[in-house]
A and B are shown apart, each in its own frame.
Chain A
C-alpha cells in the first residue's frame, strides 16, 4: 500500500478536469443511461505469462465476524481455502471430476465401494506427510455433528464414518450405504478440503493444509496473508504471497480496485454501471467467468397457488428467458429455459418447451387462476435480483400474470425470505456436479431444496441414476431428470449469468470456474 499513494505529478487543476472528464462523467453517464446503452465490456482477462513472484492483493467480503479457516464449517473464509488446502478431487475445466490429492479412484462393480489411490510424497505445511489417515479423518470431521458442516447433510446418507478403511498409507476405501456412481463428484465441494488428522479443534486458526500457500496471518473479518509453499507437490506457485483484505461494502471494494489498492475483487459480481467504470480504468479491467451464476425464481410448491403443477408450468411458459437475458443481463449470459444444469455441463440437455403465453393463459384458466396476481420478493443482496424480477414481471404480463415486485432487506434476505416466501429471486454458483445439484437442490427433504418440491418418482429416478454404472445410460437418466424438473418442478431458471470480476490490469493467468480458482498459475505482470 505504501507504494500506491505518492502524490501525483499532475496539478490540482488537472485533478478537477480529470475527475470530471474521465471518471465522473463516465460514472454519471453509465448510471443514467441504464439498460439502453450497450455494454462495452472486455470478454476475458488479460492474456500472457505472469512474472514470477509478487504479492496479489485480494479484497473479499467477510463470511461473518466469526469466520474460521476450518473448510468444513459454514463460516469458513472461502478465499483462503483453495490457497491453503487441497481436496481429494476437484472439477476440471471440462466439468469432469479431476485428480487433486487422489491420483485415481474406482468403484466396485455395483458402485457401492469406492477406492481412492492417494498421491505420494505430499507434505502438509508443518512438514508431516499426507496419508490416507488424514483423508479418512477429513471425512469423519465433516460428518461429525459438532462441526455442523453443511456438507454433512449430503454425505451422511451415504458414508458411515466408522466403516472407512485405510488398508495402506496411500489407499482410502469408502464403503457406501447405497450405490453411487457419482460419489467422487460430491467430494469436489469446498467443504471437503483435506485437513491433517486430529486437527479439528485447531484447524480454524492454523490453516495447515497441503495447498500451494501456507498461512502467515489471519484475522476473522480482517486482513490476512499467505505465502508460497515451496515444497508444494505440484510445484511452486507463481506468486510469492497473497494478501487478503476484508471489505464488506461492495462499492468500497470497487473503489479499492480503481484506486490500485487491491488487484482482485472476489465474490463480487459487479453491476453493469460499476463494471463499465472499472473497464474504462487505466488500472483495472473486467474478467468474465462464463455462466458462473445460475439465477432462480423458486416457487414454493407447498404454498398456494404453486401447489398446482399447472400454475407452475404456466408461470414458466408465461415469460421469455431471452427477454430476461436481454433486459436484466444486458446480454452477458445465456437463457436458462428453466433447466438448472448449466449449458456447458457435459450432462446438459437442450430440449425445453418454447415460451408460450397463450398456453400459459390456458393452463391458468384450467387451474382456476385466470387473474393470477402474486408477490415476487427481491432485495439488494445481488445486483441482478431486481432487474431480473422486473424483467419477469414485464414478460409475464403478456400471459395475464400480474407480478407485484417487493423489495426486502438484504441483510436478512436469506434467513427471512428465502424458502419462506412463495416466490422470490435467488442464485447459485454453478460448478456443482450434476448429481450433487439434483440431490441438493431438488430431492425431497434436502435442506437446500428451496422449492420444497417433493416427488417420489423424481427421487427414485435420482437413485437409479446414481446406481447406474454405465456412463452413457447414467447420462441419459440425468437428462430425464432435467426434463422432469422443467415439466413439474418449482424452480424457474430464467438465466445463467457471466460473473463480472474486477481485476487489476497487471493480473495474468486468472482462471476461475464454479468453485475452482487457479491459485498456482495466477500471477502479476510487472509487479
Chain B
C-alpha cells in the first residue's frame, strides 16, 4: 500500500515536470512571440526589439526554461510578460472564479448522472433506459461550445433568465458572478454527465446480474434494500475513475465554455495568454492543469483501493 502510493506520487511528479517542458516547447513552436503579439500590427520594429530585450526574450530558450523552473520550485511563478503583475496572484484570482463553475458542474454532473445512470441500469431496456441512454449519447457527441450556445439562445436571449456573458473583470465578487455561473456549469455538466451516466448504467447492470445480488434477492430482501445496501457500493467503484477523469477534463472544457460566456476564469486567461504568448502564465496554468489531472487520477486510484479490499491486499502481497 505504502510503496504503491509512493510510486504513484513519484510518477505524478514526473508527469508534472514533463508536461511543463512540453508546454514550454509547444509555445516556442508557435509563430511570433510576446513582443510581436502584444504590440501587434501597429508596432514599429524598434519597439518590438526594445520590448523583446526588456523582457529577456533574446536569451536562449533553455536558460529561460531553467530560470522559470527554478523559480517555480521556490513558489515564484514569475511576472506576466504582458501585464507585469505576479503570475501567482493573477492565476489564483482567475482560478478562484473557475472553481465556482467547476464546483457547480461537479455537483450537477455527479449527482444528476449517478441518479440517471442507476435508473437506466435498473430499468434496463425499458423506456426510461432508452430515453436516458439516447439523451446521454447526444450529450456526449455535441461539443461543449454548441451546448453552451444553445443554452444562451434559450435562457439568455429567448428567455432573459440568465446573463449571456459576464461583463465584469477578474476581480468580480462572488455575488456578481453568481447569476452567470449556472449556464456554463450546466453546459459542462451536460457534456460531462453523459460519460458518467453510461458508465454507471453498465456498472449497475453488471452488479445486478451478479450472484450475490441474486442471493440477496432470494433471501427475500426488498429491491430498494438490495440496490442501496448490496449493489450500489460495488457498482460505484468503476464509476469513480470515470468521474475522476472527467473532473480532469473539466479544466479543458472550462476554457472553451468560459470564452463563450466571457467568464473571467482560468480558461479565458489561458486563451488570452496563448494569444499573447505570455509564457510564464501559460506555464503556470499548464502546471495547475497537470496537478489537477494527476491528483484526480491519484485520488481515483487510492479511492478505489480504499473501497475494494481485494485490490488493497493485492497491493500488499506484491
Residues of A within 8 A of B (CB): 1, 4-8, 10, 14-16, 18-19, 22-24, 27, 57, 59, 63-66, 74-75, 145, 148, 150, 152-153, 219-223, 245-249, 251-253, 255-256, 258-262, 281, 409, 411-412, 414-416, 418, 447
Contacts and interface: CB of A to CB of B under 8 A. Distances in A.
B272 A221 contact: yes
A248 B47 CA distance: 25
B165 A24 contact: no
Interface SS of A by simple majority: loop
Given A5-B163, A247-B165, 18 more contacts: A4-B163, A15-B158, A27-B153, A64-B38, A65-B82, A66-B82, A66-B83, A74-B47, A75-B39, A152-B44, A221-B169, A248-B262, A256-B165, A258-B156, A258-B164, A415-B37, A416-B32, A418-B41
A264 to B, nearest CB: 13
A148 B44 contact: yes
B58 interface: no
A220 B41 CA distance: 19
Interface in B219-262: 259-262
B42 A150 contact: yes
B275 A411 contact: yes
A214 to B, nearest CB: 21
Contact of B160 (A4, A65, A150, A416): A4
A261 B83 contact: no
A152, A251, A255, A261, most chain B CB atoms within 10 A: A255
B155 interface: yes
A516 B118 CA distance: 62
B159 interface: yes
B306 interface: no
A409 B162 contact: no
Nearest to B85: A65
Contacts of A148: 43-44, 46-47, 50
Q: How extensive is the interface on chain B, given as a class?
A: 35 or more
Contacts of A249: 259-260, 262
B164 A74 contact: no
A255 B165 contact: yes
Contacts of B50: 148
B42 A74 contact: yes
Interface in B157-183: 157-165, 167-171, 179
Given A15-B155, A74-B40, A415-B37, A255 B276 contact: no
Contact of A64 (B40, B155, B157, B274): B40
A252 B159 contact: no
A351 to B, nearest CB: 32
9 contacts: A5-B179, A66-B82, A148-B47, A245-B167, A247-B165, A247-B262, A256-B167, A416-B31, A416-B36
Contact of A15 (B159, B163, B164): B159
A251 B149 contact: yes
A327 to B, nearest CB: 27
A455 B163 CA distance: 55
A153 B31 contact: no
Contact of A65 (B43, B44, B272, B274): B272
B262 A256 contact: yes
B150 interface: yes
A368 B29 CA distance: 38
A8 B165 CA distance: 18
Nearest to A74: B42
B157 A258 contact: yes
B156 to A, nearest CB: 4
Contacts of A414: 40-41
Contacts of B272: 65, 221, 248
B281 to A, nearest CB: 9
A154 to B, nearest CB: 11
Nearest to A152: B44
B198 to A, nearest CB: 26
Contact of A252 (B38, B165, B171, B275): B165
A414 B42 CA distance: 9
A64 B164 contact: no
Contacts of B156: 255, 258-259
Nearest to B151: A19
Contacts of A223: 167-169
Contacts of B44: 74, 148, 150, 152-153, 447
Given A252-B259, A255-B164, A256-B165, A18 B158 contact: yes
Contacts of B155: 15
Contacts of A59: 165, 167
A19 B38 contact: no
Contacts of B169: 219, 221-223, 246
Contacts of B9: none
A22 B37 contact: no
B168 A252 contact: no
Contacts of A22: 158
A409 B36 CA distance: 15
B40, B171, B262, most chain A CB atoms within 10 A: B262
Contacts of B162: 5
